[in-house]
Amino acid sequence: MTTWLPIPADSDFSIHNLPFGIIETSNGRITAGVPVGDYVIDLVLAADAGLFGARRPHVRLFEQPTLNSFIALGNDFARRIRRRLQLWLTNDKRPDDAEYLLLERAQVRPLMPLRIGDYTDFYSSIEHATNVGKMFRPDNPLLPNWRWLPVGYHGRSSSIVIDGTPIRRPHGQILPKGADTPIFSATQQLDFELEMAFVIGKESRLGQPIPIEQAEEHIFGLLLFNDWSARDIQRWEYVPLGPFLGKNFASSISPWIVTLDALKPFRTRGPVQKPKPLDYLRIRGWHHYDINLEVSIRPQNGPETVVCRTNTRYLYWSMAQQLAHHTVNGCNVRPGDLMASGTISGPQPDSFGSLLELAWGGQKPIPLADGSTRTFLLDGDTVTLRAYAQKGNIRVGFGQVSGTVLPGWVERGK
């Protein structure tokens, strides 16, 4: 496809992408939007101009403060909207209404695109699970159930925030090394976790599992996801029921939801699964994606350093397997629910998706461009996750999700 709109070759937002989000315009109006190149298509104005057919229902749909109602109409409906936009962008000449419908991306503010209902975090990278296991269980790094099922836990949706939201250093109970009694303190081991998340677009009925062959029909699209983690709080609390305060203080998402349709060219074969999964987790075809990922750290008043580069193709369990397992007991899902992959680590040390692994539990400090090192995050550090997929001249990106660490609240009584 070629377009009359000038789009930089390295733009995440090509006409092959056209993800969906919610924006606030320069005059304070809230509307659904689609980024393309250095612009955003205002979907309310596009609907009012008749770009999608009947004006009034589309205007009402796209002036909602979240995308939930739009997503709930299904992937076929979203596919039709993207196709209409692509046809508009590939006209022989610039349409007369282009200046009216296009907003400069630098002049709008992306907002939280979803009203997130339930949120589940998986643990689907075998490299990450093995690395963490080696630190705490050298003789038995991968627990017996890990190769049989996608491990996950139910997280907190209320503390999921949009790109650019500062992250307050959390407090909690920590057991100092060699101590028998915990202390109450701000975390000294604040970490990022590089993840991807998928958005549920089609509800299922309570008591009715989603067959794995139909799982992707329930997935609307993907977001970048940073599952901030307080490792010292997590280490003390996670036995016997798993993650709690060490995880639920904040998670960050990117603002643009990239559809599975846009990612079709980047489907790839996943890792060989041994032993073979149980029948309900077996599926034919390629259900992994070749998406490049990176993480950078920028200290306060310092330059940015890329500390990790990896790829979603390393995930052991696919999204389809995650969702099939999530619902096999009859758990229902609803549009706007979010499912995160867990930390995505690759096979090489520079492809590990968390500081816990990169600095190997504090034993191997990571050098930054300003001459400092990190084992865990310091106040003032800004962490940025980026992702894109490319095949020939087709590029589909996610933009970024970024957050700056703020000092913790003062302790009680001070």
Q: Report d(CA 53, CA 314) in Å as an integer.
A: 42
Distance of CA 43 to the CA centre of its chain: 23
128 is catalytic: yes
Contact 44, 63 (CB under 8 A): yes
* Residue 410, pLDDT score: 65
User: What's the pLDDT score for residue 159?
Assistant: 98
DSSP string, 108-158: SEEE-------EEEE---HHHHHHHHHHH-TT--S-TTTTTS--EEE--ST
**Cβ(380)–Cβ(300) below 8 Å:** yes
The values of phi and psi at residue 395, to 5°, are -125, 130
User: What is this structure's pTM?
Assistant: 0.96
User: What letter does residue 344 receive in the DSSP assignment?
Assistant: -
92 burial level (CB within 10 Å; 0-12, 13-18, 19+): exposed
- Structurally, at CATH architecture level, domain 119-406 sits in Alpha-Beta Complex (3.90)
DSSP helix/strand/coil, 78 = helix
Digit-coded pLDDT (tens) for 373-401 = 999 999 999 999 999 999 999 999 999 99
Q: How far is CA 34 from each of CA 89, 149, 162, 225, 258, rounded to the nearest angstrom?
A: 12, 36, 17, 20, 10
| Alpha carbon distance 405, 2 (integer Å) | 42
DSSP class per residue in 173-234:
EE--TT-SS-EEEE-S-EE-BEEEEEEE-S---TT----GGGGGGGEEEEEEEE--EEHHHH
Alpha-carbon distance of 323 to 331, in angstroms, equals: 10
CATH topology of domain 21-111: SH3 type barrels. (2.30.30)
Q: For residues 244 and 162, what is the distance between their CA atoms, to the nearest angstrom?
A: 21
- Residue 390 parent element (H or E): strand 382-391
For the chain, the maximum distance between any two Cα atoms, rounded to a whole number of angstroms, is 73
pLDDT of 413: 43
Backbone angles phi, psi at 287, to 5 degrees: -130, 15
Domains 21-111 and 119-406 in one fold: no
β-pairing verdict for 160-162 and 251-253: parallel
Spell out the per-residue pLDDT of the chain, length 414, in tens.
899 999 999 999 999 999 999 999 999 999 999 999 999 999 999 999 999 999 999 999 999 999 999 999 999 999 999 999 999 999 999 999 999 999 999 999 999 999 999 999 999 999 999 999 999 888 889 999 999 999 999 999 999 999 999 999 999 999 999 999 999 999 999 999 999 999 999 999 999 999 999 999 999 999 999 999 999 999 999 999 999 999 999 999 999 999 999 999 999 999 999 999 999 999 999 999 999 999 999 999 999 999 999 999 999 999 999 999 999 999 999 999 999 999 999 999 999 999 999 999 999 999 999 999 999 999 999 999 999 999 999 999 999 999 999 999 865 444
Instruction: Find the radius of gyration of the CA atoms of the chain.
Output: 22
End-to-end CA distance of the chain: 62
Cα torsion angle, 346, 352, 356, 357, sign: positive
SS3 state of residue 43: helix
* Structural domain boundaries in the chain: 21-111, 119-406
Q: How many contiguous H segments (helices) and E segments (strands) does the chain have?
A: 9, 26
Question: What's the gap between Cα 367 and its chain centre?
Answer: 26
Query: What residues contact 20, with CB distance under 8 A and at least 6 apart?
Result: 32, 33, 34, 67, 70, 78, 113, 221, 256, 257, 259
Which of 16, 58, 128, 287 is catalytic? The answer is: 128
Q: Tell me if residue 301 falls in helix, strand or coil.
A: coil
What is residue 151's predicted lDDT score, i.e. its pLDDT? 97
For residue 106, how many other CB atoms are within 10 A of its CB?
8
